[in-house]
Amino acid sequence: MKKLGICLLIACLAGACNAKPQESVAPAVSAENTVSHPTGNKTPHILVAYFSRADENYSVGNIRTGNTQKVAEEIARQTGGTLFHIQPVKSYPAAYKPCTEVAKQEQDAQARPTLTQKVPDMDQYDVIYLGYPIWWGDVPMAVYTFLESYDFSNKIIRPFATHEGSGLGRTPTTLPKALPHSKVSPGLALYGHVAQNEPDRVRTAVSQWIAQ
């Protein structure tokens, strides 16, 4: 397992994932669809939608709550947003290595895994905090299913990722492409093992990012 993890990370760090290890805010994604303030005159309605997988993972071992979920819960706590778990009907293997293999096959096939539930009324939300682990340099394919299930026109999307070396990976490019009519703001990237084990650092990183 360790071997595969190392290979995966080496591939990413070598550039395949546009690696940018960091616990900070990424550069703006593009001039025309970048915002930094989810404001306006009214109080925004906030959704915190996230994909996250528990079970065995790189660097953290067997976990009950996924790394990204921990960050999502902190964002919801600080913003008062509504949490929504993006969950595929077919769960991934609990072991790390088989999970990476399934994820790679899905990415190669540009799969769109079916999700277990829908957001009841997406229209009411102005700001979507979108959380995901970096999988092979991008979002898990179930996140694309989620993005293609709603009209996100004119909504503000605030991406946040957990990773083990790739930072936001390719998502500063892939998300704006998938959301051409939304305003995709600079994302937050946190190491998965920090998200899992260091709540104080998560709290601080989240509050600094939200304030931007």
Contact positions vs ligand FMN (CB under 6 A) = 8, 12, 17, 52-53, 57-58, 66-69, 96, 99-100, 103, 133-137, 162-166, 192
Nearer to ligand FMN, 67 or 174 (CB): 67
Q: Which residue is nearest to ligand FMN (CB)?
A: 192
Nearer to ligand FMN, 29 or 189 (CB): 189
Residue with tokens 């703001």: 185
Nearer to ligand FMN, 125 or 191 (CB): 191
Point out which residues pair with 82 in neighbouring strands. 47
Residue 15: CB minimum distance to ligand FMN, A: 12
Residue 124: CB minimum distance to ligand FMN, A: 26
Amino acid at the residue 90: K
> 183 burial class (0-12, 13-18, 19+ CB within 10 angstroms)?
buried
Residue 103: CB minimum distance to ligand FMN, A: 4
Distance (Å, whole) CA 147 – CA 151: 8
Other CB atoms within 10 A of residue 189 CB: 25
Residue 85: CB minimum distance to ligand FMN, A: 11
Nearer to ligand FMN, 70 or 183 (CB): 70
Nearer to ligand FMN, 17 or 184 (CB): 17
Phi/psi of residue 162, nearest 5 degrees = -115, 155
Point out which residues pair with 61 in neighbouring strands. 57
Cα 6 to its chain centre, rounded Å, is 21
